[in-house]
Structure 1
Amino acid sequence: MKRAVIVKAKRTPVGKRNGMLKALQPHELAAPLLRDLAGGIEDKIDDVILGNVTGPGGNVARLSALEAGLPLSVPGLTLDRQCSAGLEAIRMACYMIQGGAGNCYIAGGTESTSTSPYEKRARFSPDRIGDPDMGVAADYVAQKYQIPKEKQDEFALLSYERSWEAYNKRMFEDEILTIDKWNKDEEFSRERNMRAVLKRAKPIFIKGGTVTAANSCGIHDGASAALVMEEETANLLGFRPVLRFIDSEVSGVHPHYPGIAPVPAIQQLLKRNQLTIEEIGLMEINEAFASKIVACAQELSIPYEKLNIRGGALTMGHPYGASGAILVSRLFYEVQRRTQGKYVLAAIGSGGGIGVAVLFQALM
């Protein structure tokens, strides 16, 4: 069977909604990434697969490929699996390579919440089941899995401190492709007394709840993508594979508890590959809400020492369709700094109760 590997990964800076990237449409965020990742092998690209959630509709991937100046022969595919769309795009590219459909793909996601033409979110679930907003659902997860506000705030503070430490050590610079003049995530423009912010923050989604604005992610703009290649082709073209795709899993849970959806996906993935949590060196799980991360860590017995070790969306923000690809980009660079751990894993939960988990082998 052919093997898929990731040989390059990049992301844009992440900007606040109506912030520094507010003037850029999704294809304008993605195009510089495609141009950079395809540099020198434009004629080898079989397809571009991009996740996008909040519009503008149409085939954003094709538009982005054309905007990037890729050959007209590169078709482009846009998919929507809500917050897991960017990770799903990379997963799909890996399977396309394994199945022999092609040898070289650019896959990821792009999101401009600032320019979205939609005033309201898409429906996640029918009325007969219930269709809670993600914040309300985060409170439902906190209630069901007994995650008090103190534990949520504790993780949110940990994420914040890790993110700022990584930023101050310039660890994000390799990940980021400068867009216009922007070369850093907007949230790093001003450091806050996060401990005080968490302490005074009040529940905002349900009466008597525990989820606050401080232990939730923000709504942001950004894009991220990876160059996914068949391993022998990558070697022949002079690329150094960093992550080798091993396997993946998608799970569905009750739409009231989307934050816990990564758990069954990870459990099934590990069981099928006869692995344990202890054998996974690094894990990136999207930080939409602290309640979600704490619940996932609790249910899977994941030590915080190997989970989101450079922080995540709680600090830097959540550009929906791009966030899953950002997880992979983070792993791509992080494994090049570390020697321990043969396997790494990226996972994300999304609206409607869907979890996606992808297992890679670190080749460094």
Structure 2
Amino acid sequence: MTRFNQDIFLAAGLRTPFGRGGGALVGYDGISLSVPVVRAMAEQLTTQRPDLVLWGTVIPNLGWSNIAREIWLDAKLDPTVPSFSAVLACATSITAAFAAAGMIGGDTDVVLVGGVETMSRPSIGLTAAASDRLRALFAKDPAEALKALSSLSPVDFTLPAKGWANRITGRTMGDHMEETAQEWGITREAQDAWAYESHRRAVAGWERGFFDDLVIKLPELARDANPRADTSLAKLATLPPAFDKTSGRGSLTAGNSSPITDGAAGVWVLSAQGRTRLPDGIPTARLVDYELAAVDFSDGLLMATPFAIPRLLDRNGLGFEDIDLWEIHEAFAAQLLANVAALERPGWIAERVGISRDFGHFPWERVNPNGGSVAIGHPFGATGARDLSQTVKELAAMPKGSRAIVSVCADGGEGAVALLESLG
């Protein structure tokens, strides 16, 4: 089963090293951090010209609207390439890849897809009330309006709602995830154990060179700054709750949650003809199918992917153990554990998703072999492209016909899941 009328391929793209919030990459904005990635990927093409560019970011910036076009023009590449932007919270660049796949055909064979977030530098805007007040003053008396700027108070300013908190609830994803962790019985010990494994695997991946051809070096940073070789279960156990600090039941900490991160990442979406425009040796896999899901917040702000995964597998006649590789985004260790707990709970898929068949045993040993977002970092707009490229490289080393699931949850009760297949 596939949504496409022709074979669609993903080829591993490039990304920046992911930097710690307030760290080495703090001097970049979303455009300047993306330009080196886009240039490096364009240089891989025989023509240095894709047919289309899709790029996304999540935290708004008043300095631009179509960041994809701004990046492409600042990269000083062929200005006749159409470029537009996409956004779906943490699933922004994986959803952009799905959109690109649907646009393959005719003269469109190669689409450069990606995303970026500079979480160290969110734009601070004015509230609607403060903006209205100043706008009226500028129209009436510009000099008086300039004086009024100095009298603005903290209540007149706002961080972007989609940067840190859900607009409807006014609460962060961490706040919501604390409730989900308690609902699903996800213990602090289990979260710390998964976080430790994420760091251990990411560090091991760097040490054996897995990331070397996926990450371009920047003058300020040559490799991911977040994976910690010196972490341990004992150290993780000492960290205080980061969100629920007062009830005595808080279990999400800075150590078992994805960190504030700056980074940009890309991935290629290609037709069969488009593959000939990339050099041999770039890992490539077939995009077989995908699924988007959305749930009511009562199901959990980050719990849409357990609804999407069974639908995707059922449509393709697959069970859990038919999937050889699982790349599940780790916004929080608790989120990954709760997502899989739902899939494993007897009767949950039949009752909540409406599919009454046995998907079998879930193969935990096949999840995130080179670490996930808790260790690598989570620049919102870049995570989907990072996940896809990492999966494609992992899958390309497996026998022909091996399958992978890439799963990315997103703020707003949404999620995106892809099914990929190895070309051998």
- Taking structure 1 as the reference length, the TM-score comes to 0.92
Structure 1 residues 162 and 202 mapped into 2: Cα distance closer, same or farther (>3 Å)?
A: same
Per the alignment, residue 32 of structure 1 pairs with: 36
Q: Tell me if the contact between 1:46 and 1:74 (Cα under 8 Å) persists in the aligned partners.
A: yes
C-alpha RMSD of the superposition: 2.1
Q: Are positions 1:198 and 2:203 aligned together? A: no
Q: Tell me if the contact between 1:51 and 1:86 (Cα under 8 Å) persists in the aligned partners.
A: yes
Q: Specify which of 206, 218, 235 is matched with residue 167 of structure 1.
A: 206
Cα distance, 1:195 vs. partner? Answer: 1.4
Per the alignment, residue 246 of structure 1 pairs with: 288
Q: Give the Cα separation in 1 of the matches to 2:278 and 2:6.
A: 16
Cα distance, 1:42 vs. partner? Answer: 4.2
Matched ranges for 1:26-175 at <5 A: 26-39=30-43, 40-42=45-47, 44-56=49-61, 57-97=64-104, 100=106, 102-118=108-124, 120-123=159-162, 127=168, 130-175=169-214
Q: Give the Cα separation in 2 of the matches to 1:147 and 1:8.
A: 34
Structure 1 residues 350 and 332 mapped into 2: Cα distance closer, same or farther (>3 Å)?
A: same
The count of corresponding residues between Structure 1 and Structure 2 is 360
Per the alignment, residue 277 of structure 1 pairs with: 320
- The secondary structure found in structure 2 opposite 1:260 is coil
Cα distance, 1:303 vs. partner? Answer: 2.4
Per the alignment, residue 180 of structure 1 pairs with: 219
Per-residue CA deviation, residues 264-287 of structure 1 (Å, 9 max, x unaligned), is: 111111111111111111111111
Q: Tell me if the contact between 2:196 and 2:231 (Cα under 8 Å) persists in the aligned partners.
A: no
- The secondary structure found in structure 2 opposite 1:50 is strand
Cα distance, 1:101 vs. partner? Answer: 6.6
Per-residue CA deviation, residues 183-218 of structure 1 (Å, 9 max, x unaligned), is: 201124x63332122211222312222212211110
Q: Specify which of 21, 25, 32 is matched with residue 21 of structure 1.
A: 25
Q: Are positions 1:288 and 2:331 aligned together? A: yes
Identity %: 30
Q: Tell me if the contact between 2:200 and 2:229 (Cα under 8 Å) persists in the aligned partners.
A: no
Per the alignment, residue 129 of structure 2 pairs with: none
Q: Tell me if the contact between 1:125 and 1:255 (Cα under 8 Å) persists in the aligned partners.
A: no
Rg larger for? 2
Q: Give the Cα separation in 2 of the matches to 1:258 and 1:121.
A: 18
Q: Tell me if the contact between 2:54 and 2:84 (Cα under 8 Å) persists in the aligned partners.
A: yes
Q: Specify which of 11, 15, 21 is matched with residue 15 of structure 2.
A: 11
Q: Give the Cα separation in 2 of the matches to 1:271 and 1:101.
A: 33
Cα distance, 1:353 vs. partner? Answer: 0.7
Cα distance, 1:326 vs. partner? Answer: 0.6
Q: Give the Cα separation in 2 of the matches to 1:131 and 1:316.
A: 27
Per the alignment, residue 308 of structure 1 pairs with: 368
Q: Give the Cα separation in 1 of the matches to 2:369 and 2:295.
A: 27
Structure 1: gaps of 5 or more residues: none
Structure 1 residues 112 and 237 mapped into 2: Cα distance closer, same or farther (>3 Å)?
A: closer
Q: Give the Cα separation in 1 of the matches to 2:316 and 2:336.
A: 23
The ranges of structure 1 where at least 4 consecutive aligned residues each deviate by more than 3 angstroms after the TM superposition are 40-44, 123-127, 235-241
Q: Give the Cα separation in 2 of the matches to 1:212 and 1:114.
A: 19
Cα distance, 1:316 vs. partner? Answer: 1.7
Per the alignment, residue 218 of structure 1 pairs with: 259
Q: State the one-letter code of the partner of 1:225.
A: G
Per the alignment, residue 137 of structure 2 pairs with: none
- The secondary structure found in structure 2 opposite 1:356 is strand
Q: Give the Cα separation in 2 of the matches to 1:50 and 1:35.
A: 14
Q: Are positions 1:297 and 2:336 aligned together? A: no
- The secondary structure found in structure 1 opposite 2:53 is strand
Q: Give the Cα separation in 2 of the matches to 1:237 and 1:225.
A: 15
Cα distance, 1:75 vs. partner? Answer: 2.1
